[in-house]
Structure 1
Amino acid sequence: MKIEAVRIQSFKSFEDSGWVELSEHFTVLVGQNNAGKSAFLQAFTTTGAFIANPHYSAHLPEGAASPESVISFRLRVDGHELLERALHWSTIHVPTTHDLGDQVLTKHFTSSHIHLLEMRHGTANFTMPAAPAYGFFDTEQKQVLSVRAHIDRNTRSFGQVYMRNVVPPDDNIPSLVADVLTRTTFLFNAERYSIGRCLMDGRDRLDPDARNLPYMLLKMNKSHKRMEQFQELVSEVLPSIKRILISAMGQEVEISVQSHGSMREDLAISLNECGTGVAQVLAILYVAVAYRAAQIIIDEPNSFLHPAATRRLLTVLRRFDQHQFLLSTHAPEVIAATRPEKLMLLRWDEEQSQTVITSNSGEDIDHIRTSLSEIGGSLADIFGYDVVVFVEGPTEKACFPLLLTPENRTAINFVAVREASGLTSSKPKALFDIYAKGVASSALLPPVTRFSFDREGRSEQQRADILRASRGAARFLPRPMFENYLLHPAALSALLQRLDGQNDKTAPDAINRWTDANHAKHTVKDVPNTSAATCDAAKLLGAMFDELTQNRFEYRKVEHGEDLTKWLLENDPRSLDDLVAHIKALLDGEVISSAA
C-alpha cells in the first residue's frame, strides 16, 4: 500500500487542504512553529476512534458550528495485500452483479491489478466513495448483488461462494482496506517514550504508540536473520549501543541496552533509563525491518536525536525502498540526509484563516541545492530564516550581524557569496539568474532576500546593471568596501597595541598620520581616492600591519574585522551610522532605483 494523497477538511488548522500529493518514498514537511505540521501528521492517526477536532475559521460568525472533520486518503493497494488481510477473516462479502458473479473476487484479491481507492473517515468509520462498484460495473444499469465467500486458510483462497440479493449490498472492502492502512501506518511523536517493559499480550503487530515493542522484539527473536539486521542497524545509528537484550520475566518482557563491549549482563541498562530518542530509534527500526511495507511517520526526528544520530537514522531509512516515509522538521540536515522526493512548506495564512501548503519536488530541491552551491550557499543558509542577506564575503558575514539593533527580533542570516565580484562584474546577471531560477520559486525561500555588495571593482554602469538585474534586491555600500569603515585611528591603535605591545608608532595620532601619508598608494578602480574613506582599505590595512609591526603580525580580515567592529560599537558607535543605515535599508526592503 502507498498513500498517494491526503485531503484534510475542517481539522485543526486546516479548513480544506485540497488533495496533497505524497511521494512514494520520502516526503518532508517544513514550517515554523504552530504552522500546522503536527496537525498534518495527526491526520494520519488511523487507529481507534477518530477524534474530530474541527477547524475554527475567522470567516465564520462567532459561535457558528464548524463543519465536521473529514480526512480523505487516496490509496494505491495491491489486490494481494487485501487477500493477506482477508485470510484472517472467516467470510468476506463483496458487491457484484449477475454477469460478474464471483469473478469480482479475482479482480479485488488475486490479480496484480492496482486499486486506486479513496478513503474517508469523519465521525463514522471509513467509507469509500467508489463503493459498491469500484469501477468494475455500472450500478445504474445492473442490479447490485453481494458475494459471500468463505475463507480457506489451508489453500489460501476462497472456499464456498454464495450470491445474495441484499439491499444495500454487504461490502467488506472498506473494512479490509482500512485494516491494511491501520496495521501498516505508524506515527512516532517528538516525545519521550517509556516502552521498555510490557505484558506478553499476544498481539501480532506493533501498537501505534509502540508500547508493546518488547513483546514484538521477543517474537522477532525467532527470526535470527531479521534480529541480526535489527541489531546491526541499531548500532549503526547509535554506535554506543553494542546489543539490544530482550528478557522475559513471568508475564512481562523487558528491553535492556548493552553499551559495554564485555557484554556483561550486570552492565546492561533498562531502555526506560536510557536517554531520549533511543526508544524511538528502536521502534522505527523495528518497523523498517519487520514489515514488508509500511507508512512510517516521524514528527521532528531532530528534536529527540543528536544531529549526527539523526543523519545516520535517515541514511539507514533511505535503504528501505519498500516503505513510505513522512517527516516533519525544522532542521536543514534532515532535508540533506533524506533527499526527499517531495518537500512541503506549511505556513499559517491569516487572510485565509488556515494552514496553506506549498510543494517542491525532489528535482526542485536538487536544483535549489546546486544553485545555492554555485553562489557559495547551502540549504542550511536559507532554511528557517525570515530574512537572508547574501554579502560580499566572510568578513561581512561575520561583522554584519554585530550591527543589528538590539530590538531586532527577525531571524536573519548573512551568507557569503562565492566570487561575488566575478559573478556580478563580468556577468552582471549571472548571480541573479542562478538565484531566481534555482531558489526564488522554492518553498524553502525566506520571505525576504537581499544582496549587499562592495563598490570596489565595479563601474557605475556595472552597478546600475546589477541593481536592474536584482530588481531592487541589491544595495551597494556607500564606501568602496567594508574595511573603509574600520580605518579608525583609536580602534586600530587599541588592536595593534594589544597584539604588539605599546609603541609610539601605533599611537592613535601616529596611525592617523600614517594613514594620511599612505592611503593614496592604494586606489580603487573608478573611485577617486581623496581620503581614507575612498581608498582600497583592505590593502591599506595589510600594509599598515606589516610596516608598523615590522611583519610580526599580518592583518586578518575576518578576525581583526570583528575585533575592530566590536571596539567601534562600544567606543564610537556613531562612526558606523552609515553602515547601520545600509543594513537597515536592506532589511526594510527599500527598492533601489539607481547606482548612486
Structure 2
Amino acid sequence: MVNDLVLDREAARLPYFINRLQTSDAHGHRKLCEWVQRIFPDVSWVQSTPIPNNVFALYCLPHGPEARRQDLATPIGRMGTGIGNVVAILYVLLTAREPQVIAIDEPNAFLHPRALRELLAILESEGKSHQFILTAHSADVLTAVDTSTISFLDLENSATVVKQATREKLHTIRGELARLGISVTDLHGKDRVLWVEGQTEELVFPEVLRYACPEIAAGTAVLRVERTGTFEKKNGMPPDEIVSIYERLSTSAGLVPPMICVLLDAEKRKREDKVRIELQSKNRLRFLDRRMLESYLIEPHAIHAALKELGCECELAQVEAALSGFDLSREAEIDGAKVLEQLFSAVSNATQEFRKTRDVPTLVSWLIANNPLHLDPLRDFLRRILLVTSS
C-alpha cells in the first residue's frame, strides 16, 4: 500500500514528495536546497516538475529561481547516484516528525570526502532527535562527526568480531595513533588547518569549533604549533618568516591543507604589539582577546563539576567563596591558569591540582553542555576571526 505521507525506502517517489514540499512548505524547501548546496556547491536549487502521465521529474539547477534559468535544469538522474541519495536523506531529516533510525551504508561510495563531511555535519547539527547508523571503510566518517560509539568489525577465524569504542576511548586511540605518525594520514581530505599554541588547545578546539563555528568545523584539522615564542623578533624570527614556514608546510606535497591562522595566547602582550604582529603577518598570526584559553572558563558551576569528577567532596558554595577572592573585573587580563591552579588547591585542601590537559577539556565540555552562554565571548571572537579568514 502506497503511503502518501512517508517516503518509500527506495525513494522511488522522491520527485512527488519534493514537489509537495515546494508547494506546501516553501521555507522547508529552501532550507533543503541550502543543505544540498553546502554538500554540492554547484547545485543551488532542487525542484520537482510535473510531466505527462501524472508523474514528476526532479531537476538540479546551478542558480536559484530568481535567475530564471530553467534551461540549465539537469535531470537528477544524470547527476550520479550521490545527489539523489543525499536529497532523499535530507528530505527525511527535514520532514520527519518522530525520531527515526536512519542507516547509511558506505556513504563514501557515492560521495566525495568533502561532500561526505558536509552531509555528516548537517546530520549531526540538525538531526539530534534521530539515530544514525553509518557503515564505512574510510576514516573520513570518524573525523567528521563526534560519534558516541564506534563499532569495528573484523573477521577472525571465520567469525565476525565486533569491538566497540566510546567517544572517550576514541580520543585515547587517536593519541596512540599520533605516536605512530598517523596524524598526517588523518589530514587527508581536510579543507583547512587551524594551528593552536599547545597540546591542550589541540585537544579541545575541535569541540570548541563544533560549538562556535560549525560551518567550518567538519573540514578543519587542529594542530599545535611548536616553539611559539619564535615569532618574536627578539628571538631572531620575524612574523612573516614564521608564517612562511607554516604556509610552506601546509602546502608541501599536498599532505597538509592550507592554514586558517596561527591562534596564540595573548599573555601579557600590549594591544599595540598584538595589532602590529597581526598586521605584519597579514592576519596569519592571531591572538585570543583574553590572556589565555583558561581565562574564558572561570565559571563556578563548571569548576565544581570538574572537581567532583576528580572525586573531590566539595560544595558549590566553597568554589564560589574561593572565587570571590579573585579580582575578575578585567576579563582580558585574568590569568585563567593561575586562578584555576589556586582554586583547585584551595577547594580540595591541596589534594587535587589543576592539570591543563586533563581539566580544560572537562571544563569546556561541561560549559558547552550546560552553560554555553558563558562561552559566548569565545564563540563571538572565533567567529569574527575564523570565518573571515577561512572564506
TM-score (norm: length of structure 2): 0.47
Higher helix share: 2
Larger RCO (alpha carbons 8 Å, 6+ apart): 1
Q: Which has the higher strand share?
A: 1
